[in-house]
Amino acid sequence: MTVRPMVNRDSQFFWDGTQVGELRIQVCNACGAKRFPPGPACQSCEAYDRGFEVASGEGTVFSYVVHRHPPVPGKELPIVIALVDLDEGVRMVGEVVGAGASDGDIAICDRLRVDYNRVDDDLTLPVWRKA
């Protein structure tokens, strides 16, 4: 079993993106402001006219935690959860996986690149690897 993200009308475009290997950031069509997490209205100009752009998939570790407890369904602990500053200027949270993703190996300002973990036909999660 895997913890599944909530998909709603505001975040559907994001999950449609991960299915096809795109990291999508919501963009306000009225003023161009980017935002994450996605929501119905722009926090800069309050417009509801929203679109998205595809991010480069590269970013920097702003902060991270090593999660040891409590247990997470479908996960072998510990796992590294990072706040990632995308090069496009928005911040998102994600798991760091692969070589170098353990305690002491990861550091603030490390460069990360997005990858995709296909859970099943309906869900692909973005994950991060050290660049």
The tokens of 16 are what? 């449609």
The rounded distance, in Å, linking the Cα atoms of 115 and 112 is: 10
Report the residue number, 44 or 56, with the smaller CB distance to Zn ion.
44
Interacting positions 47-76 with Zn ion (CB under 5 A) = 47
CB of 38 to Zn ion, least distance (A): 13
CA distance 131 to 116: 14
106 binds Zn ion (CB under 5 A): no
Distance separating alpha carbons of residues 47 and 28, to the nearest angstrom: 7
Kindly indicate which of the ranges 21-29, 70-78, 96-104, 121-129 contains the residues binding Zn ion, using the contact rule CB under 5 A: 21-29
Nearer to Zn ion, 33 or 123 (CB): 33
Quote the radius of gyration of the chain (alpha carbons, Å): 15
Q: What residues between 27 and 46 interact with Zn ion by CB under 5 A? A: 28, 30-31, 33, 42, 44-45
The residue count for binding Zn ion (CB under 5 A) is 8
User: Do you know the residue count of the chain?
Assistant: 131
Q: In whole angstroms, how close is the CB of 30 to Zn ion at the nearest point?
A: 5
Catalogue the E-assigned strands of the chain.
24-28, 34-35, 50-54, 58-67, 79-86, 91-96, 111-120, 123-130
93 scored as a contact of Zn ion (CB under 5 A) = no
**Quick one: 18 or 26, whose CB is closer to Zn ion?**
26
Q: Which residues bind Zn ion (CB under 5 A)?
A: 28, 30-31, 33, 42, 44-45, 47
